[in-house]
Structure 1
Amino acid sequence: MQIPVHAKRYAFTQVVKLSPIAASKLLYWNRFKTRLNLENPKTFNEKLMWLKLFEDVEFKRRFIDKVKAREYMITVGYNYLLPPLIGIFDEIEDIIFEQLPRKFVLKCSHGEGMTIVCENKREMDYRETRQHLAEMMATDYSLKYAEPHYSSIFPRIIIERLIESSTGDDVKEYNIHCFHGVPKIIESTFDRFTPKEQTLMLTPDWFNTNYLKKKHPFDEAKARPAQLDELLAIAKKLSKPFTYVRIDLKVVDEKVYFNNFTFTPDACLNNQMQEDDSLKLGQWLDLDIGKSRHPVTVARSKY
């Protein structure tokens, strides 16, 4: 008899609550069909898993919480990189949709992918939107992929103005992988929604690393952003406190905007990278494995 999907999800969340390490090992086995080596991690995924499970979670929460991340960006003088804020709400009932602009973005503060983009308020079903928000607000994102740094974040709703190109061009996103405060890889997707769509990992000098398995012809010079130096400078400054972080930025109408701090890209389960290259990226991370550490928990506490 096949076990229903919702039953599998419930069982997995119980494992996460009991042991994020055991849950991470299950995720890793399901994706790679090999054992997660936390005693002597070598690949990029393994080392990200180790950082996820043993690094200071409380510190990371300050940057994962989207409300606190905005506050931090203002503190370090990067308020000009933030999309214009409409409001921050603790309760869905406090949002008066009739008073919002025609275009806006709703984000929950405590997880990834919990975003609603409104391009035309007249076409929005307010009741359905409130229901969707309620589901997202009730989600403990830390239980989805055993990511402890997402636990104990107070769920709030951020409403920002929709940032879009005045010319209709695709918004360019640049996710910059930083190792010990040094930007080393720029990950971006090109030719979106076309047969030639591809995600690439590029060097800071804008050369294709060929780290990813899927390949298409790529013209580096044509795709190089005019803001490359600015993007790298921002990533370098923001990544300075961390062993590893991905600084997610975007460019719209030649202006740079901040998206997120990301500590566990692809939930530490990226299977699109060549094995040798995953080992190479792993070598860029120096972990203090010998120091005694206690595994962190994900059970949500009172805020």
Structure 2
Amino acid sequence: MQTTLKAKRFTFAQIVKLSPVFASKLLFWKTFKHSLNLDNPQTFSEKLMWLKLFEDVEFKVRFTDKVKMREYMIALGYSHLLVPIIGIFEEIEDIIFEQLPRKFVMKCTHGSGFTIVCENKRELDYQKTRLQLAEMMATNYALINAEPHYLKIKPRIIIEKYIEPSRSDISNAYKIHCFHGEPKIIELALKRNTRNEQSVMLTPDWEDTGYIEKKLPYEISESKPKQLEDLLAIAKKLSKPFTYVRVDLNIVDEKIYFNKLSFTPDACLNIDIHEQANRELGQWLELNIGKRKQPISIARSKS
């Protein structure tokens, strides 16, 4: 089974190298069971795909790289929102686990989901962790879901302080979808890190949009953060240069922390929002299709 999966991933990676557009159409068809319209995109998913394939990739690299993104935050006066860094490493061999604190978080800078959370170093298998990091570092994330803006990010490992809430129920993640520099949707995870995890999409006024059909009992008023205005102001400032971006922020013990910017959330393939919502969200994105350039090539990749 594992061999078959690796073979499929290898084959798809070759397709991505030949044509990110064709690879994206395959992903779209597999997910939604209808063709991707890049000539006249209408839905949120289609327009995100168009932006992924035709918008300036070089511009996005700086804001996707987890190290370079910190420079942007500092330039905007948001250094206080950054999780403190323990170290940045280009080689796994340079990491001395014995010198790390008892709790820490390791992230690779060139992809999404490349994260190792250590809550107790005494229980950490150093050799297994090194192998995990080696696999992550060797992975060309741009080839997994045909996302060209990950291509030119230099693989590095960033080790951050583990931010631990004083109570287990007061750490919340807020994913703020911004269209042309305006926060329009706040996506909030319900029951995070469990099998019942689900998201809800809210307006900036903290009202349920109904874009995601809720399966879990949920009281909107009880989850509204005191820092809502601050969250929206931060997202507005960070998203100003972009046609679309999702600004991910966390609140731990009433303090706001920056997580990341995402230009292609869910690889542009969110299956949780219903069809009408997909069209309504798409109306907020205006594309310069008339100035469309050739799609970015990933053929330069050696991975």
Secondary structure of 2:294's aligned partner: coil
The answer to whether the 8 Å contact 1:152/1:300 transfers is no
Q: Distance in 2 between matches of 1:32 and 1:84?
A: 40
Please, which runs of 5 or more residues in structure 1 have no aligned partner? none
User: 1:62-84 deviations in whole A, cap 9, x for unaligned?
Assistant: 00000101111111111100111
Residue equivalent to 2:140: 140
Hey, what does 1:256 align to over in structure 2? 256
Check the 8 A contact 2:54/2:292 in 1, yes or no: no
CA contact (8 A) 2:192 2:198 kept: yes
Q: Distance in 2 between matches of 1:164 and 1:245?
A: 27
Work out the percentage of aligned pairs sharing the same amino acid. Answer: 65
Q: 1:194 to 1:121 in 2, by over 3 A?
A: closer
TM-score (norm 2): 0.96
Per the alignment, residue 156 of structure 1 pairs with 156
Structure 2 counterpart SS, 1:248: strand
Pair 260,49 (structure 1): closer, same or farther in 2 beyond 3 Å: same
Determine the structure 2 residue equivalent to 1:117. 117
C-alpha separation between the residues in 2 aligned to 1:19 and 1:193? 35
Count of residue pairs brought into register by the alignment: 300
**Superposition CA RMSD, Å:** 1.5
Aligned twin of 1:273: 273
Match of 2:168 in 1: 168
| 2:86/2:161 contact within 8 Å kept | yes
Quote how far apart the aligned CAs of 1:217 are.
Answer: 3.9
Query: CA 1:212/1:77 → structure 2, altered by over 3 Å: closer, same or farther?
Result: same
Gaps of 5+ in 2: none
CA distance in 2, matches of 1:218, 1:127: 42
Give 3-state SS (helix, strand or coil) of 2:17's partner: helix
Pairing of 1:46-65 with structure 2 (within 5 A)? 46-65=46-65
**Structure 1 position 33 matched with structure 2 position 33:** yes
User: Measured at CA, do residues 276 and 223 of structure 1 come closer, stay the same or move farther in structure 2, by a change above 3 Å?
Assistant: same
SS at match of 2:30: helix
Aligned to 1:100: 100
Taking a change above 3 Å as real, the CA distance of residues 194 and 292 of structure 1, as seen in their structure-2 partners, is closer
Contact 2:212 2:272 in 1 (8 A): yes
Residue 69 of structure 1 pairs with residue 75 of structure 2? no
In the alignment, what sits opposite 2:82?
82
- Deviation of 1:195 after TM superposition, in Å, equals 8.0
In the TM superposition, what whole-angstrom CA distance separates every residue of 1:70-107 from its partner, at most 9, and x where no partner exists?
Answer: 11111111110011111111111111111111000000
Give the alignment's TM-score, normalised by structure 1: 0.96
Q: Using the alignment, how far apart are the partners of 1:266 and 1:146 within structure 2?
A: 12
Q: In 1, distance between residues paired with 2:215 and 2:48?
A: 25
Name the counterpart of 2:222.
222
Q: How does 1:180-191 map to 2 (within 5 A)?
A: 180-191=180-191
- 1:119-173 residue CA offsets vs partner (Å, 9 max, x unmatched): 0011111111111101000000000000000002110000000011012325200
1:9 corresponds in structure 2 to: 9
- What is the deviation of 1:300? 5.0
How far apart are residue 5 of structure 1 and its match? 2.0
Separation of aligned partners in 1, 2:133 and 2:188: 29
Offset from partner CA, 1:34-56 (integer Å, 9 cap, x none)? 00000000000000000000000
C-alpha contact (below 8 Å) 1:147/1:298 kept by paired residues: no
In structure 2, relative to structure 1, the CA distance for the partners of 1:292 and 1:223 (3 Å cut) is closer
Aligned mates of 1:5, 1:274 — CA distance in 2 = 29
**TM superposition shift of 1:214:** 3.7
Query: What is the CA distance between 1:272 and its match in structure 2?
Result: 1.1
Amino acid at match of 2:73: M
Deviation for aligned residue 1:301: 5.5
Moved more, 85-94 or 206-215: 206-215
Alignment partner, residue 285 of structure 1:
285
The corresponding residue for 2:246 is: 246
